[in-house]
Structure 1
Amino acid sequence: MDSERRRRPYACAWCGRPVVDSETGRRRKYCKRACRQRAYEQRAAVGGSAVPADAVILSSTEATELVDRLFELRCAAEDVATAVAERASHAELDDLCRRLVEQAGDAERLR
């Protein structure tokens, strides 16, 4: 069971792409070396400032896009709730749930 959990993808700490670990060793935080380097550069840039080292700095465009993705996610969740309340068909619920999971994955991306 533990090996199954380790192989389950999770989001890269820098770009949000899926990261899949091997069965041994420490869990990776980044999907590739470039993401690890960008994260290091960001930590080095904020070192000695009032910005916490683990802060995620987004441009206004990135923040707006994130808010938009979260809004779409909430709308998809409301669509599922409405369909359940209206006793929608299994096929319709399946389609709505698939869309909800897809949008949740998109909302995880920070960059």
Structure 2
Amino acid sequence: MVDSDRGRHRKYCKRSCRQRAYEQRTLTEGTAIPADALILSPDEVTALGDRMFALRCAAEDLATALDEGEDRDGLTALSTELVRLAKEAERLR
């Protein structure tokens, strides 16, 4: 399917995304779970918590290095690590 200037804009990027959305809607139908809820397994929640903790620690390390007058190379290394951890933290699957 090609996006063009005419017609409706796509709601989903690909068929598999549309299928996952359908599956979630049907699984939550008739329950108290909101339709827009994000459902994670216990392992996924633990992994996300671990990634967020690592991200916070890296941010604190960078703040400490700034307060202590760390040199440019040290700050560059810390900020590079912070960005890497932030990218990893936003991953849900």
> TM-score band, normalised by the shorter chain?
0.7 to 0.9
User: Is the counterpart of residue 49 in structure 1 residue 31 in structure 2?
Assistant: yes
- Aligned mates of 1:101, 1:49 — CA distance in 2: 39
Q: 5 Å matches for 1:1-111?
A: 26=9, 30=13, 32-111=14-93
Q: Structure 1, unaligned stretches of length 5 or more?
A: 1-21
The change in CA–CA distance for 1:37 and 1:91 in structure 2 (over 3 A counts) is same
Runs of 4+ in 1 over 6 A off after TM superposition: none
TM-score scaled by structure 1? 0.69
Q: Structure 2, unaligned stretches of length 5 or more?
A: none
Deviations 1:45-75 (A, max 9, x none): 1012110001011110000000000000000
Please tell me the residue identity of whatever aligns with 1:78: E
Deviations 1:73-97 (A, max 9, x none): 0000011001101111111111111
The number of residue pairs the alignment matches comes to 88
TM-score scaled by structure 2? 0.81
Task: Give the corresponding residue for 1:16.
Answer: none
Percent identical residues: 55
SS at match of 1:55: coil
SS at match of 2:46: helix
Which protein has the larger Cα radius of gyration, Structure 1 or Structure 2?
2
Once the 2 structures are TM-superposed, how far is the Cα of residue 28 of structure 1 from its aligned partner?
A: 6.1
Once the 2 structures are TM-superposed, how far is the Cα of residue 38 of structure 1 from its aligned partner?
A: 1.2
- Aligned mates of 1:68, 1:29 — CA distance in 2: 30
